[in-house]
Amino acid sequence: MPILRIENLHKSFGPTRALEGVSIEVERGSVHALIGENGAGKSTLLNIISGLIQADEGTLELESRPYRPLSPQDARCRGIAFIHQELCLCPHLTVWENILLGVESSQRGWLDLKECRSRAEQVLRHFSHPEINPDRTVQTLSIAARQVVEICRALALDARIILMDEPTSSLQRSDVQHLFDLIRRLRDRGITVVYISHFLEEIRQISDAFTVLRDGRSVATGKLERVTDDELIRLMVGRPINHLYPAREKKPAQNLLTVEDLSLPPSLHKASLTLGAGEVLGIAGLMGAGRTALIRALVGLEKAQSGKIKVFSRESPVKSETRTRLAQGFGYLSENRSREGLLQTLSIADNVTITRYSSCSRSGWIDPEQQ
């Protein structure tokens, strides 16, 4: 008997239809993968299950009983924990305070600090991350370490169903393996995991069953061992994919960016690349290989120590300011969107125009109507 049943779920945000008839059955003690392209509705579905948002239509059943959580707290009380793609931590609190937030141990109305720290250590023991100490504040941790704390917080709730929205996006390979081992142990204990990932190799390692979402609809479900990766990709995009990377008909007529031996120790040593007009250049590597350092050096957020940068075949100082790069036509999307990519207290208009006020100003004054 399934622990969670969803039938004909619908959800719209204004004119945008995020879900248009999703139906899923999740077996108890299984790892159920949600697969689909960006915008397919996977995160929206988890948000509904966790009580963050309400569905417009459809029914949910938890252990054969009607289930419609009114809030995340309501869902947690029913045994459902959610590990978000965007980290939801309190940066000024310590690791153990974040892990046990809302479920702290107490005696006669007073926090039992010793017991709290002990409980946090028990959960953290599964990862043994070198950065993480129960008494360290979260704001001093790297993104990967914060992801570990987020996962530990969900585990501390003793949930029956754990929702995971791309939990490995910022983890190193060793931490990913620790997470997978932990998921297997949770499954063996009868705990159910609903898992979102864009990496089919990850899903193959830990998942028992799958559901494919496409354009807000569930188009296929079943046992993962019965389908091939090619079939999953076809279900995700709605057509056979014969050539993932089709050959270009012609080479770029112009090199927009040339980088030679760019160095930013300790993570970046002599990186070189060439980017042509109309090209998409992928930068791959493990955590700590220097990918982020390279991009931040290119846009002037970090000052490279040596190397050459040419923009439109003209040499540009490697230690140029970010405003110089913006004037040259560079743009930057940070991996930490909430902390570096957006000013969340300002309006959408302010965020969109903040790097180019010249598009909405007159005589040195910002014109709100032009924003």
- Between CA 24 and CA 266, with CA 169 as vertex, the angle to 5 degrees is 175
**The three-state (H, E, C) secondary structure of the chain, written as one string:** CEEEEEEEEEEEECCEEEEEEEEEEEECCCEEEEECCCCCCHHHHHHHHCCCCCCCEEEEEECCEECCCCCHHHHHHCCEEEECCCCCCCCCCEHHHHHCCCCCCEECCEECHHHHHHHHHHHHCCCCCCCCCCCCEHHHCCHHHHHHHHHHHHHCCCCCEEEEECCCCCCCHHHHHHHHHHHHHHHHCCCEEEEECCCHHHHHHHCCEEEEEECCEEEEEEEHHHCCHHHHHHHHHCCCCCCCCCCCCCCCCCEEEEEEEEEECCCEEEEEEEEECCCCCCCCCCCCCCHHHHHHHHCCCCCCCEEEEEECCEEECCCCCHHHHHHCCCCCCCCCHHHHHCCCCCCHHHHHHCCCHHHHEECCEECHHHC
pLDDT in tens, 268-321: 888 999 998 888 889 888 767 888 889 999 999 998 989 999 998 889 998 889
**Residue 287: predicted pLDDT:** 67
**Residue 245: predicted pLDDT:** 62
**pTM for the predicted model, two decimal places:** 0.72
**Residue 246: predicted pLDDT:** 62
**Residue 23: predicted pLDDT:** 94
Per run of 10 residues, the mean pLDDT along the chain (length 371 residues) is 92 92 94 92 94 94 93 90 83 93 84 88 81 90 81 83 85 77 86 90 92 93 91 85 66 84 89 89 81 90 91 89 89 81 87 83 82 74
299: amino acid identity, one letter: V
- Contact of 9 with 58, CB cutoff 8 Å: yes
In a 10 Å sphere around its CB, with 0-12 CB exposed, 13-18 middle and 19+ buried, how is residue 105 labelled? middle
- Contact of 35 with 213, CB cutoff 8 Å: yes
- Name the residue with tokens 């929206």: 44
